[in-house]
Structure 1
Amino acid sequence: MRKFFRKGVPVLVISTLVATGCSFGANEAANEMDAPPVSYIDEGDSLELEESEEGVDGEGDAEAPSKGEEGEDGDEGEAEADAVVEDVQRELYLIDENGLVVPQTLTLPKTESVLRQSLQYLVDGGPVTELLPNGFKAVIPAGTEVDVHLDDDGVAIADFSNEFKEYDPEQEQQILQAITWTLTQFDTVEKVKIRINGYDQEMMPQNGTPIGEGVSRANGINIESNGVADMVNSKSVTLYFLDQKGENTYYVPVTRRVGLGEDSLKAAVNELLQGPSYKSNLLTDFRNGVELLSDPLYENGVVTLNFNESLLSQLDAKAVSDAALNMLALTLTEQEGVEQVAVQVNGETNILHESGQMTQPVSRPEKVNTGSF
């Protein structure tokens, strides 16, 4: 049965994620994109953009600022003199109570070792404990020590102590996905490799999930088996649905396979309109009957989508919901070169969204799921 987002529940601010997914272990390169985001914020929401830092982890390997951020020219002497602890917002990929890997934006102390810190905050029982949203848990086994080195090819080598091996085998792919997507939020990290006590791992230690030359966002997240058996003649798209915890709502990325010959933009929209798998607890904010009237039009980084009037579900069927716009923006900006999404209904461009304002081309906000639980 199609499950819908419950109205009246606040929609959380969403953020930039990149790359179209494939299943873990596949060698296929997906259609990835990394476009500079222009923030779209729902009325009443706030978005605090922090200055990013250039840090050094491990043996002098330079780290990058978060995707969409600019590096800062800090005054080290002044910072030391003030001795003030600054905070920044980082995306950590955690596991929710349904076993899904979900980004949560948490406020962490500012540090130069941003890659190492991000992994330290994924360790169960570590510094993330008091920050965990209700229903979420950290993914790396308790007691694991972490280190990270970034090579010149953009490969982050995550080195763990022996405790890392003590995870639940059934959560192996979620753990690898969470580590990969957490580290690849930074601009210069393209892939992630795993070491244990300094030894490269060609596969994960419990169930043997392949790692090979490195795992990237192209390998997917929360991968659905949607009946596509032909991996050679199919490709992946990453979609964003909704989930609820009490009165709070968050966005969940899901990777699904479509036919290799299909237009990626059209396939992504159609899969999004199809809704979440009936096997999941995920929700949608698109009503039955919503459909595209023409193929997506791409020009200069903007995708224009022309829907029928069923898209209008708010303000007495005169406006499109903010959640639906956000789902579209998150999903389509995963595609290469897409920076913004413009929405039409029956060819008309003057469409209201539920706040009462006219819709403009929308793009991804900076951080995903920043609400408090």
Structure 2
Amino acid sequence: MRVDWMKKSVGLVLLSIVLLAGCNVFEGEQTLDQIDAPPEDAKVTDDIENVGETDEAGEDLDESEGAEEGTEEETDAEADDETEGEEASGTLSHVLYLIDQNGLVVPQEMELPAPASKEVAKQVLQYLVQDGPVTAMLPSGFQAVLPAGTEIIDLNLEEDGTMVVNVSEEFANYQAEDEDKIIESMTHTLTEFKNVDRVKLWINGEEQQTMPVNGTPLTQGYSRDEGINVHQATGIDLMESEAATLYFPMQGDEMVYFVPVTQHIEMDQDQTEQSIVQALMEGPAFDLPLENYINHGSELTAAPTLDDGTLSLTFNENILSNSEKGVIADEVLQSIVLTLTEQEGVQAVQVSVEDHQEVINEEGQPYTEPVTREMVTPAKSI
């Protein structure tokens, strides 16, 4: 499942234009002059928090009180001109999917300057461009992923959760072996936003059915379901297994961060979560310097239970880094929570240990409540 790490960081924006004579008023990051009009029943907006939601009277929020009437001729540049001279203040926290020193796509939470134009999603993509504004902010060993010179022309968020990304032709200046990294980075970065489910690519206003270099299919768009850092483990029968994304710690130059790896695992259909936990405890299935902080001999002592979005897991005391005090290593809990909240219906994880009344973190604070994904965000750059 996808849980929003950045819900608190996204600003609400209303930029209004008239799509066609007689059509309703919609908000968007661009105008019809820049991208062909969507279907008549689609809404285009950069209000990525509220698209598709309705008020108590059942009226679309996009057309509710406060929406201003615009014109077809209004462009992003004109909208930006309206804010010219207004200084953006403060920063916003965003999760960017960057490339680490091992060539893996990994999430990093970074503080970006609040955009004066309020085009938040567009700004986030601009910070994925090599030699772009993110360069001075990159942690040691990390790099941006989109080809240098790529211009993010405009974005359309459709009502079904599809984000249409229109980029310049420089986007196609990459090596074939980097194609998966590029589309995974774009997709996972944009789907951090609450109402974005998949990404479609346009280049200079033309829809792309495939990625431009190696031909990755894009007809239905690209979503998190396609995986990230996909690895096919040897000895696994693909017909008898399912893909799952597991999070493993990695020791970087400046921090410990978490690497999502999609791999096929042998899955018990009646105990999906237990199969995933078992795969996580066994560690990464390929040869990279990923860490496995879970102690040897750790195992579940009861079948996991899912109740109202909370997954309860009970381990033996080998899961603890200090069994006398009941301490579980922060990296262990983070791996567990990040991995299990990828599953449909799992919003939080409650970890308990056999024969221990409570489990505490490395700072001595007890885990009295279920742990959500927002509570174990990716490592911040320092």
Match of 2:371, SS? coil
* Residues 50, 202 of structure 1: alpha-carbon distance in 2 compared, 3 angstrom cutoff: closer
Residue aligning to 1:54: 13
**Aligned-partner Cα distance in 2 for 1:315–1:240:** 24
Residue aligning to 1:298: 306
**Paired letter, 1:170:** E
Residue aligning to 1:211: 218
Shift of 1:83: 4.2
The unaligned stretches of length 5 or more in structure 1 are 1-18, 20-32, 38-46
The unaligned stretches of length 5 or more in structure 2 are 15-27, 33-43, 54-60, 67-82
- TM alignment of 1:1-373, pairs within 5 A: 19=1, 33-34=2-3, 49-50=8-9, 52-54=11-13, 56-59=28-31, 61-65=44-48, 83-111=87-115, 112-146=118-152, 147-227=154-234, 230-259=237-266, 261-262=268-269, 263-314=271-322, 318-346=326-354, 348-360=356-368, 361-365=370-374, 368-373=377-382
Deviation string, structure 1 residues 176-228 (Cα, Å, up to 9, x no partner): 10000011111221110111222222221222122221111111111111136
* Residues 172, 50 of structure 1: alpha-carbon distance in 2 compared, 3 angstrom cutoff: closer
Shift of 1:366: 5.8
* Residues 210, 80 of structure 1: alpha-carbon distance in 2 compared, 3 angstrom cutoff: closer
Ranked by relative contact order (alpha carbons within 8 Å, sequence separation 6 or more), the top structure is 1
**Aligned-partner Cα distance in 2 for 1:357–1:85:** 35
Match of 2:374, SS? coil
**Paired letter, 1:168:** Q
Normalised TM-score (structure 2) = 0.77
Deviation string, structure 1 residues 51-110 (Cα, Å, up to 9, x no partner): 63235312273124469xx99x99xxxx99974523211111110110010111111222
Deviation string, structure 1 residues 265-304 (Cα, Å, up to 9, x no partner): 1121111101123411111210111111121111121111
Shift of 1:245: 1.5
2:107–2:378: 8 Å Cα contact kept in structure 1? yes
* Residues 217, 48 of structure 1: alpha-carbon distance in 2 compared, 3 angstrom cutoff: closer
**Aligned-partner Cα distance in 2 for 1:93–1:298:** 30
Deviation string, structure 1 residues 325-359 (Cα, Å, up to 9, x no partner): 11111111111221221122226442333322322
1:144–1:164: 8 Å Cα contact kept in structure 2? yes
Of all paired residues, the percent bearing the same amino acid is 38
* Residues 231, 59 of structure 1: alpha-carbon distance in 2 compared, 3 angstrom cutoff: farther
2:330–2:362: 8 Å Cα contact kept in structure 1? yes
Match of 1:206, SS? coil
**Paired letter, 1:63:** D
Residue aligning to 1:44: none
Normalised TM-score (structure 1) = 0.79
